[in-house]
Structure 1
Amino acid sequence: MWEEKAVIDGPYHFDLALERLARDPLNIVDKEKRLIRVPIYKEKPEVADVQAVGTTEQPAFMIRGSNIQTKQQVMDRIASIFQWNLPLVEIHRHFSTTALNDIFEIHFGTPIVLEFSLYPALIRPIIHQQVNMSFAISLTEQFVKTFGFEIEGVPFFPMPETAAKMNAGELRNLRFSQRKAEYIIDLSKMIASGELDLAELAEKPDEEVVKELVKIRGIGPWTAQSFLLFGLGRKNLFPMADIGLQNAIKKLYQLDRKPTYEEMENYSKDWHPYLSYASFYLWRSIE
């Protein structure tokens, strides 16, 4: 066992982040202890505990793991997942003179927490396509608990190699549509065979990532942008096709209808180069 303290620059509101993460039954969260158990995906998967011991203005964390040999690797991964190197103070300052100021004040210091691995970051938005949020969460939970695995009680998504060997009927039994089942299996086969290298894809600019992903059956711009935002932590994403984002803008500007793409583009001009945080905080405003 090992334990290491990490001190980062504020603001960073870990409690608000945990509140959102706790809504997903796959996340093992203890809000009272300010702790989350994180699945670490690597050749030999393991679990790390991340516990807040500081404040929003002076954030500090205790990270605990089981294998001293992989300590630095785990620490680096945790820092990446929780976006500890991104200066939220600059982002809040940027939005203080925009129409989003009030929303940013309410959710002050809330970070975007990334998916725990790149494969789930692509599989999850496919599962979430064209279904309501509660059903999407239930489908994802069933998928993971049926075909994934657990370490110390922490659920892990199945590896691509496992999903590649499924047949559509197995997913249909979980109430997946035939088409969605095929998308997941075919994508998993591409990743397992090396035809699609997610680590290599992660090094490319946003436009190239989207261009490559939308060639794949079952992946459209919305799914590709979700992967960029929650998988790779890219800062300037504004998925205008997202219904939640449309509803948040409708509420913000007190429209009697959903905004057009042209209106959304006009509203968002002042939000560059942090459109991802504009999107995220707008989602937060209607959750």
Structure 2
Amino acid sequence: MKDKFKDNCKAFDSFIEIYTPKEFNFKECLVYLNRSDLECTHKVRDKKVYKLIKIEDNKTLVEISHNDGIMKVKFLNHIPNKIIKEKIGLHVWNMFDLSTNLTSFYESVGENFILSKLMDKYYGLRIIKINNLFECLCWAIIGQQINLKFAYTLKKRIVEKYGESVTYENEEYWLFPKVKVIANLKVEHLKELQFTIRKAEYVIDVAKLFLNKEFEKEILKNNLSYNELFKKLISIRGIGSWTADYAIMKSFSINCAFPIKDVGIQNALKNILGLEKKPELEEIELMAENWKDWESYATFYLWRSLYD
């Protein structure tokens, strides 16, 4: 993955250029990134993404744009050194999942009645990753059994209360709180933000696992298969099958994760197929036989159809 990134990246003084695959649609990615005005870990403005990225102790605000097959990552608040530039570039590369060969996905599902429509409509859309596994798991836990708007509200509260920020041109840009900060909180601290007791416990427990080095993404990524990773995740209190599959889908380069019980998947299929009621799990399992090894991308495209 790193070699592929290096072959498609060129660094300049105040920005990086990333040469994107032909199956890449920045406009479609922006639709996903801009789905809530309560999002606090990035901003979408004038067809550009603004995101604060922390590498080691270096907090760099970047402006991400795309034109004619080239993604430009511009450094705004300072110019990082060469090593940090490369790590920022790799972060953005992974965030937009640019290593995945979408041609294989399209060839695999091109004849499928359900996905062929979505493939044509959202061609070039890629799963937007959350590179930080701790942040990804926390976000998944926060979103359990509540509507999306309230989930974003809780996220905004915890980020702006306990996260780090950089101010640039009178605007504040935020990072998700550090593991150590969350691990040292008490349940009462998160209850003040309207977290339930259980949800507060789960988030703090996950932070403690990361703090104690019981859970490290690089080790998990290099040594575990999908099934092994899934089993390890669901062994954690507060993480069920949906949360585990969501985290695998959004934080790893594994495309077979499938949060099949997701209400969004059910609603999307109901709309696309013109059904009177949401399909049963057994029906979805049957449909998904045609999406084997690409369940994560099938899920992401089904979710995208809901934003219309």
TM-score (norm 1): 0.92
Give secondary structure in 1 for the equivalent of 2:52: strand
Amino acid at match of 1:77: H
Report if aligned partners of 2:52, 2:174 keep a CA contact under 8 Å in 1: yes
1:13 corresponds in structure 2 to: 25
* Equivalent in the alignment of 2:275: 255
CA deviations 1:110-152 (Å, max 9, x no partner) are 1111014221111100000010111111111111111111124
Structure 1 residue aligned with 2:122 = 107
State the shift of 1:50 in Å: 4.4
Listed as ranges, the gaps of 5+ residues in structure 2 are 1-12
Q: Aligned partners of 2:104 and 2:45: how far apart in 1?
A: 27
Aligned residue pairs total 283
For structure 1, list consecutive stretches of 5 or more residues without a partner in the other structure: none
Which residue is equivalent to 1:91?
Answer: 105
Cα deviation for residue 64 of structure 1 reads: 2.4
Map Cα deviations across residues 69-110 of structure 1 (whole Å, 9 max, x no partner).
311122122111111122223322332211211112111111
In structure 2, what is the Cα distance between the partners aligned to 1:80 and 1:262? 33
Deviations along 1:168-199, whole A, 9 cap, x unmatched? 11100111001110111111111111122233
SS of equivalent to 1:49: strand
CA shift in 2, pair 1:266/1:116, >3 Å: same
Closer/same/farther in 2, CA of residues 22 and 243 from structure 1, 3 Å limit: same
248 and 189 in structure 1: CA distance in 2 versus 1, 3 angstrom threshold: same
Which amino acid counterpart does residue 195 of structure 2 have in structure 1? F
**1:228: which partner in 2?**
248
SS at match of 1:131: coil
Partner of 1:26: 40
Per-residue CA distance 1:188-236 (angstroms, 9 max, x = gap): 1111111222332222211111111111110111111011001113211
Amino acid in structure 2 at the alignment position of 1:44: D
Contact 1:2 1:71 in 2 (8 A): no
1:27, CA displacement in angstroms? Answer: 4.0
Letter aligned with residue 10 of structure 1: K
RMSD: 1.7
Give the aligned residue type for 1:39. L
Deviations 1:9-52 (A, max 9, x none): 212111121122123421433442x3212332432142252433
Using a 3 Å threshold, how does the CA distance of structure 1 residues 207 and 41 change in structure 2: closer, same or farther? farther
Identity of aligned residues (%): 27
Of 277-286 and 249-258, deviating more is 249-258
Indicate yes or no: 2:96 matched with 1:64. Answer: no
> CA 1:201 to 1:166, structure 2 compared with 1: closer, same or farther past 3 Å?
same
Distance 1:113 1:239, change over 3 A: same
CA distance in 2, matches of 1:116, 1:213: 16
Q: 1:266 pairs with 286, 295, 299, which one? A: 286
Report the residue type matching 1:207 in the other structure: N
- Residue matched to 1:148: 163
Residues 1-287 of structure 1 correspond to what in structure 2 (within 5 A)?
2-24=14-36, 25-32=39-46, 34-55=47-68, 59-65=69-75, 66-69=79-82, 70-99=84-113, 100-152=115-167, 153-203=172-222, 204-287=224-307
Runs of 4+ displaced beyond 4 Å:
none
